[in-house]
């Protein structure tokens, strides 16, 4: 079996599995013993945000699997697939410390063998916002997460609210495809300045980091104004300008949308649970963030 034991950690022993067949054998064995299984899909380069998801999964299930796979189908040709940070040994050490039982780290060939010919197209929550600027992304996410869910067959899976639109997309296809998996959303983890933890923060130099750390305050201010009943176009325009003033070079969007389906507010004021979402660029690094209004 292709499961290399890693150096033991104070809190748990972690197996690293690279083949789907070995993954299935382990899960089968766990299920035979009556264990429930939780899953945290990741692309590696793990930080405290991911570890919080692992701990959350452990609250819901007896055994926790984290996948570690930089998924090529969710990147467009011009995006950062090649330079996306990869550090699997360090990831395994972190996962062991967080109480994860197994890291599934397949190769691209294992996930997408020669002749792979299937894609998933989505509408609904996949349209607009990220869907406008990264048209490749949600089809690729739906494809890889569906594959991971079929490979692991977890009882529960945990995703961060940091990728809020992704969370809605995943909830949608899980319902649409009748996958018997509970999807749990976990709050965004932030650093001491309020910057949402992200693997892409590793790209930021000192000046860009200082700018990035203003994003949270700008969103919080806009959220408070929207909640007080101010018309949304003005609030969004001011937030857009404030993000540029903070030092970002480009803003893809700042939008206040319905929290349940990311639909627009027809009357331009918040009259139901809402979310403010943004994506903006510091040099070649694209950051996203969002919060409840
Ligand atoms: O959020 C991510 O890291 C990825 O989009 C996911 C869900 C692991 C799919 O590759």
Distance (Å, whole) CA 230 – CA 227: 7
Whose Cα sits closest to atom 6 in ligand 1?
A: 42
Cβ neighbourhood burial of 227 (10 Å; 0-12, 13-18, 19+):
middle
CB 169 within 8 A of CB 142: yes
Confidence band of 85 (pLDDT split at 50, 70, 90): confident
Query: For the chain, what percent of residues have pLDDT higher than 90?
Result: 92
Q: Is 47 a catalytic residue?
A: no
How far apart CA 275 and CA 215 sit, in angstroms, is 15
Calculate mean pLDDT across residues 190-204: 94
Query: Which residue in the list 50, 60, 78, 101 is annotated as catalytic?
Result: 50
Q: Determine if ligand 1 sits within 6 Å of the CB of residue 26.
A: no
Give the pLDDT mean for 269-293. 97
What is the pTM assigned to this prediction?
A: 0.94
**Cα-only R_g, the chain:** 20
Regarding the beta carbon of 43 and ligand 1, being less than 6 Å apart is answered yes
Is the Cβ atom of 56 under 6 angstroms away from ligand 1?
A: no
Say yes or no: do domains 15-186 and 199-292 share a fold.
no
The CATH number of 15-186 is 3.40.50.620
pLDDT tens digit string along 4-20?
444 434 445 899 999 99
Rounded CA gap, 50 and 216, in Å? 19
Q: From CA 120, how far away is CA 104, in angstroms rounded?
A: 22
Helix, strand and coil percent figures for the chain, each rounded to 5 = 40, 20, 40
Please tell me the distance between residue 42's alpha carbon and the centre of ligand 1 in angstroms. Answer: 5
Are the C-beta atoms of 253 and 286 separated by less than 8 Å? no
**What are the C-alpha distances in Å from 136 to residues 7, 78, 149, 159?**
38, 11, 20, 20
Please name the residue whose Cα sits nearest to atom 8 of ligand 1. Answer: 42
Rounded CA-CA distance 74/141 in Å is 6
* Domain ranges (residues) in the chain: 15-186, 199-292
> What CATH architecture applies to the domain 199-292?
2-Layer Sandwich (3.30)
Q: Please tell me the predicted confidence (pLDDT) of residue 12.
A: 58
Ligand 1 nearest-atom number relative to CA 141: 9
């Amino acid at each position: 079996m292709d499961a290399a034991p890693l150096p033991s950690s104070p809190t748990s022993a972690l197996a690293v599995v690279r083949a789907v067949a070995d993954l299935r054998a382990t899960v089968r064995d766990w299920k035979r013993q009556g264990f429930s299984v939780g899953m945290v899909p990741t692309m590696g380069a793990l930080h405290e945000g991911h570890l919080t998801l692992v701990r959350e999964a452990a609250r819901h299930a007896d055994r926790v699997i984290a996948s570690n796979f930089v998924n090529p189908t969710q990147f467009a040709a011009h995006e950062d697939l090649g330079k996306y940070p990869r550090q699997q040994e360090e990831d395994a050490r972190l996962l062991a410390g967080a109480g994860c039982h197994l890291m599934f780290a397949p190769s691209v060939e294992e996930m997408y063998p020669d002749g792979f010919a299937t894609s998933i197209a989505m509408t609904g929550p996949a349209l607009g916002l990220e869907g406008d600027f990264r048209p490749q992304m949600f089809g690729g996410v739906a494809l890889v997460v569906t594959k991971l869910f079929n490979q692991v067959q977890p009882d529960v899976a945990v995703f961060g609210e940091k990728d809020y639109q992704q969370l809605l997309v995943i909830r949608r296809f899980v319902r649409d495809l009748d996958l018997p998996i509970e999807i749990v959303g976990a709050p965004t983890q932030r650093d001491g300045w309020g910057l949402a933890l992200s693997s892409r923060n590793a790209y930021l130099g000192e000046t860009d980091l200082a700018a990035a750390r203003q994003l949270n305050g700008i969103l919080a201010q806009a959220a408070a104004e929207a909640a007080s009943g101010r018309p949304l176009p003005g609030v969004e325009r001011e937030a857009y300008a404030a993000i540029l003033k903070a030092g970002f070079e480009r803003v893809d969007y700042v939008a206040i949308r319905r929290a349940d389906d990311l639909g627009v507010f027809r009357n331009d004021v918040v009259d139901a649970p809402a979310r403010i979402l943004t994506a903006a660029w510091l040099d070649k690094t694209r950051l996203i963030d969002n919060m409840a209004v």
